[in-house]
């Protein structure tokens, strides 16, 4: 049964997660893949400890080796990885060509720097064109076609934009040789900030996540969640929320976390009485929130740190309250759904004992505490990741079933490189888009368009920005989505509307993430539906309802950044957090349709309005919201039970 479950999970990952479609049987090329993968991971560990190379050289080794691995591991067409028994000759040729054209930047580093002044030669132009084309093809294989289309359109716009009518964002066109060499050789393009951050920080944190997987910390998180919540009303769904929040801190992948955690939680939820669509939606919405959950969050958070010029600790602190409210909303939503349909908790005898779990396996949390502590005392994320990796390795030695042999260590080093490949491809291609924005001045034209459409009103500009982020998020990975929107949309909010920079960047970050659960293209919800055998679209709609906090909170912290812990006193923080949690209770009740009993349509509307008013960090507005909430509570308290209503026998 367990083997069948693992097989189903792998098939679902291959269907909805492009990065899982890599070759397993590669014949004689296996040793080359192992060598490149281990070497790439060791390179990042070495430079993380002893210091990174100049950004262009560090980025070239990072991207070049990764491109070689992508062509060796990922077939040209989805599904071929099961048919091919080795790496075809053309992919071998592409792999080593990709390695050469990127390492060319290292071999001829000084002459390339001189060419920035004297001009690039024909060979430089050819290599830049080859490099861009190979990056786009590798990205198509590992990430998918949508981001490649966006990047290709951006390049075409840069080259042929002067032929466009003035009203369609025209600009002076750039020659092919100039645009390609600028994107390939300068810091404004492929080897710009995103790939530099990936080479310094993101790779190490991804490897940290791989190490933690091999300590079986995921199962430990599931057991903790079950011990804490399993006995309460709808305990299986609450277990899914807590487990996904804990695992999301480590993985930062919506689809991957949905499948990994959902293989355990979704069948459990269905067995306890939840509908398949609700079970899939609960897991998908909770897993998607992993990218906003400190301490690790998603890869985009590290790029945000660089864009804003603040420490990663600042990003972590700003993300805490919104993350708490996000998961609180989902948690409470599962409670109201359970009360509505009569799902009770699990018998105590079936649950693990929290105290025993902590005594036996509590040490497994040490790497996470090391990461948090190291960052908060002022060390760089790079050093924090290294210390976390070292601690996790020591933790793996404690138990026999997690202890690594020499062979296992090499396999883990190789896996660390493989897991990073889609992220490297995404940030490299996102660099193309960001570079075109910088070269052509597209950002300023986009800003003018947003201001014109919104009539200079901040609220309308936020709506247009949200729509753009969600649409981009349907085709772009979260990290690439953030790079694009942080380059184009965030400056509009900051420069033209006076929004606090960290609030503007968090706004686009949030809406790029929720695209994973927003229909029609909601990959995390589709993955959850695959495990639950549920309707994918209905699962996506339900996931949006459960994750409603993610659609409300960003608007709140734009107007009042208290929720991001900006300019706040302890008393104001406590009051704001308390009222916001009560507000999330009201909002969750409204979308589920149950408070202390089933709600009428007008009651749900009042509950929703009351909830939003409570989330707004303003004392007077929150008090009005509280009065509305108490009014609905009193009305429902006086009303007799609906004849067909099922009530849970246990409550939190």
Which position has the token pair 């849970």? 648
- Give the mean pLDDT of the chain: 87
Quote the CA–CA distance of 220 and 21 in Å, as a whole number: 28
Q: Is the pLDDT of residue 103 over 90?
A: yes
Span 151-168, pLDDT tens digits: 999 999 888 877 666 555
Which region among 217-226, 333-342, 607-616 has the lowest average model confidence (pLDDT)? 217-226
Asked if residue 178 belongs to a domain, the reply is no
> What's the pLDDT band for 8 if we cut at 50, 70, 90?
low
Of 100, 115, 144, the residue at which a domain comes to its end is 144
pLDDT, mean of residues 281-295: 87
Q: Is the pLDDT of residue 41 over 90?
A: yes
pLDDT score of 101: 94
* C-alpha neighbours within 13 Å on the C-beta side of residue 406: 0
Which region among 236-250, 314-328, 454-468 has the lowest average model confidence (pLDDT)? 236-250
Quote the CA–CA distance of 77 and 18 in Å, as a whole number: 11
Q: Is the pLDDT of residue 650 over 50?
A: no
pLDDT score of 451: 82
Asked if residue 16 belongs to a domain, the reply is yes
Phi, psi of 504 (to 5 degrees): -65, -45
Quote the CA–CA distance of 81 and 418 in Å, as a whole number: 15
Quote the CA–CA distance of 75 and 73 in Å, as a whole number: 7
Asked if residue 411 belongs to a domain, the reply is no
Q: Bigger pLDDT: 424 or 117?
A: 424
Span 261-279, pLDDT tens digits: 888 889 999 999 999 999 9
pLDDT, mean of residues 235-257: 80
Which region among 448-462, 493-507, 586-600 has the lowest average model confidence (pLDDT)? 448-462
Of 144, 177, 212, the residue at which a domain comes to its end is 144
Q: Is the pLDDT of residue 48 over 50?
A: yes
Quote the CA–CA distance of 272 and 158 in Å, as a whole number: 56
Quote the CA–CA distance of 540 and 524 in Å, as a whole number: 8
pLDDT, mean of residues 405-418: 93
What is the three-class DSSP state of 403? coil
Residues with Cβ within 8 Å of residue 556, at least 6 apart in sequence: 563, 615, 616, 617
Quote the CA–CA distance of 465 and 474 in Å, as a whole number: 14
Quote the CA–CA distance of 252 and 109 in Å, as a whole number: 35
pLDDT, mean of residues 563-585: 88
pLDDT, mean of residues 376-402: 88
Q: Is the pLDDT of residue 62 over 90?
A: yes
Asked if residue 124 belongs to a domain, the reply is yes
Quote the CA–CA distance of 294 and 277 in Å, as a whole number: 28
DSSP 520: S
Which position has the token pair 């998908």? 284
From first CA to last CA, the distance across the chain in angstroms is 33
Domain that holds residue 644: 569-651
Radius of gyration, alpha carbons of the chain: 25
Exposed, middle or buried, 459 (CB in 10 Å: 0-12/13-18/19+)?
A: exposed
Is the bond leading into 444 cis (omega within 30 degrees of zero)? no
* Cβ neighbours, 10 Å, residue 510: 24
Residues with Cβ within 8 Å of residue 511, at least 6 apart in sequence: 465, 466, 469, 470, 473, 485, 550, 554
pLDDT score of 462: 93
Which region among 45-49, 123-127, 177-181, 218-222 has the lowest average model confidence (pLDDT)? 218-222
Which region among 295-299, 429-433, 517-521 has the lowest average model confidence (pLDDT)? 295-299
Alpha helices in 273-380 (DSSP H): 276-288, 300-308, 312-341, 354-361, 366-376
3-state SS of the chain: helix, strand, coil percent to 5? 80, 0, 20
pLDDT score of 257: 78
Asked if residue 294 belongs to a domain, the reply is no
pLDDT, mean of residues 118-125: 86
pLDDT, mean of residues 220-239: 90
Sign of CA dihedral 597, 601, 607, 611: positive
Our count of domains for the chain comes to: 2
pLDDT score of 76: 87
Quote the CA–CA distance of 417 and 66 in Å, as a whole number: 8
Quote the CA–CA distance of 106 and 47 in Å, as a whole number: 16
pLDDT, mean of residues 26-47: 94
Sign of CA dihedral 378, 213, 392, 360: positive
Asked if residue 329 belongs to a domain, the reply is no
Asked if residue 81 belongs to a domain, the reply is yes
For 433-443, give one letter per residue: b (16+ CB within 10 A) or e: bbbbbbbbebb
Phi, psi of 338 (to 5 degrees): -65, -40
Query: Facing residues of 371 across strands?
Result: none
Quote the CA–CA distance of 395 and 245 in Å, as a whole number: 22
Quote the CA–CA distance of 478 and 147 in Å, as a whole number: 11
Quote the percentage of the chain above a pLDDT of 90.
Answer: 43
Alpha helices in 84-202 (DSSP H): 89-107, 109-118, 122-142, 145-160, 176-185, 193-197
Of 114, 144, 174, the residue at which a domain comes to its end is 144
pLDDT score of 16: 63
Structure tokens at 363: 């040490």
pLDDT score of 10: 64
Q: Which of 219, 102, 190, 209 is nearest to 480 (CA)?
A: 190
- Contact predicate 430/136, CB 8 Å: no
Structure tokens at 423: 């992220």
- Contact predicate 545/282, CB 8 Å: no
Asked if residue 240 belongs to a domain, the reply is no
Which position has the token pair 């580093």? 109
* C-alpha neighbours within 13 Å on the C-beta side of residue 73: 28
Quote the percentage of the chain above a pLDDT of 70.
Answer: 93
pLDDT score of 643: 38
Structure tokens at 486: 């942080």
Span 135-145, pLDDT tens digits: 999 999 998 88
pLDDT score of 2: 46
């Amino acid at each position: 049964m367990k083997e069948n479950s693992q097989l189903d999970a792998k098939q679902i990952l291959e269907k909805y997660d492009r990065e899982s479609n890599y070759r397993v049987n590669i014949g004689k090329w296996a040793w080359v893949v192992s060598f490149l993968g281990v070497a790439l991971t060791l390179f990042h560990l070495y430079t993380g400890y002893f210091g990174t190379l100049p950004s262009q050289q560090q980025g070239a080794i990072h991207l070049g080796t990764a491109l070689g691995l992508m062509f060796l591991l990922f077939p040209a067409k989805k599904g071929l990885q099961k048919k091919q028994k080795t790496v075809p000759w053309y992919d071998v040729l592409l792999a080593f060509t990709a390695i050469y054209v990127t390492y060319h930047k290292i071999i001829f580093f000084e002459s390339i720097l001189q060419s920035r002044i004297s001009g690039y030669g024909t060979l430089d132009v050819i290599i830049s064109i080859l490099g861009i084309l190979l990056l786009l093809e590798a990205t198509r294989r590992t990430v998918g076609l949508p981001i490649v289309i966006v990047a290709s359109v951006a390049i075409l716009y840069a080259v042929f934009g002067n032929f466009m009518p003035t009203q369609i964002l025209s600009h002076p066109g750039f020659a092919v040789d100039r645009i390609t060499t600028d994107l390939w050789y300068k810091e404004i393009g492929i080897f710009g900030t995103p790939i530099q951050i990936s080479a310094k920080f993101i790779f190490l944190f991804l490897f940290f996540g791989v190490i933690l997987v091999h300590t079986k910390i995921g199962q430990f998180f599931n057991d903790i969640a079950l011990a804490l919540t399993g006995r309460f009303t709808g305990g299986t769904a609450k277990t899914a929320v807590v487990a996904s929040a804990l695992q999301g801190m480590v993985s930062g992948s919506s689809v991957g976390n949905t499948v990994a955690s959902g293989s355990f939680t979704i069948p459990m939820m269905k067995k306890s009485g939840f509908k398949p669509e609700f079970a899939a939606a609960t897991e998908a919405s909770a897993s998607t929130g992993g990218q906003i959950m400190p301490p690790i969050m998603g890869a985009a958070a590290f790029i945000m740190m660089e864009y804003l010029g603040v420490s990663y600790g600042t990003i972590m602190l700003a993300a805490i309250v919104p993350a708490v409210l996000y998961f609180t909303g989902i948690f409470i939503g599962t409670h109201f759904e359970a009360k509505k349909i009569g799902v009770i908790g699990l018998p105590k005898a079936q649950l693990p004992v929290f105290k025993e779990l902590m005594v036996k396996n509590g040490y497994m949390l040490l790497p996470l505490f090391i990461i948090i502590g190291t960052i908060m005392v002022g060390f760089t994320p790079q050093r924090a990741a290294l210390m976390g990796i070292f601690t996790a390795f020591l933790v793996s030695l404690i138990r026999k079933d997690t202890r690594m042999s020499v062979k296992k260590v090499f396999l883990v080093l190789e896996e660390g490189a493989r897991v990073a490949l889609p992220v490297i491809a995404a940030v490299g291609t996102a660099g193309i888009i960001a570079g075109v924005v910088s070269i052509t001045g597209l950002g300023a034209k986009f800003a003018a368009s947003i201001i014109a459409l919104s009539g200079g009103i901040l609220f309308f500009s936020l709506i247009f920005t949200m729509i753009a982020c969600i649409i981009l998020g349907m085709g772009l990975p979260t990290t690439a989505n953030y790079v694009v929107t942080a380059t184009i949309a965030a400056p509009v909010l900051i420069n033209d509307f006076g929004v606090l920079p960290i609030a503007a960047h968090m706004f686009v970050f949030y809406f790029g993430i929720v695209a994973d659960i927003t229909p029609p293209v909601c990959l995390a919800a589709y993955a959850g539906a695959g495990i639950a055998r549920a309707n994918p679209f209905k699962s996506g709609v339900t996931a949006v309802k459960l994750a409603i906090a993610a659609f409300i909170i960003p608007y709140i912290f734009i107007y009042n950044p208290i929720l991001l812990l900006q300019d706040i006193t302890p008393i104001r923080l406590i009051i704001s957090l308390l009222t916001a949690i009560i507000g999330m209770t009201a909002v969750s009740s409204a979308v589920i349709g149950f408070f202390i009993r089933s709600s009428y349509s007008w009651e749900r509307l009042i509950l929703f309005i009351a909830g939003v008013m409570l989330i707004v960090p303003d004392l007077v507005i929150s008090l009005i919201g509280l009065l509305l909430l108490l009014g609905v509570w009193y009305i429902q308290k006086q009303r007799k039970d609906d004849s067909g209503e099922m009530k849970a026998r246990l409550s939190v």
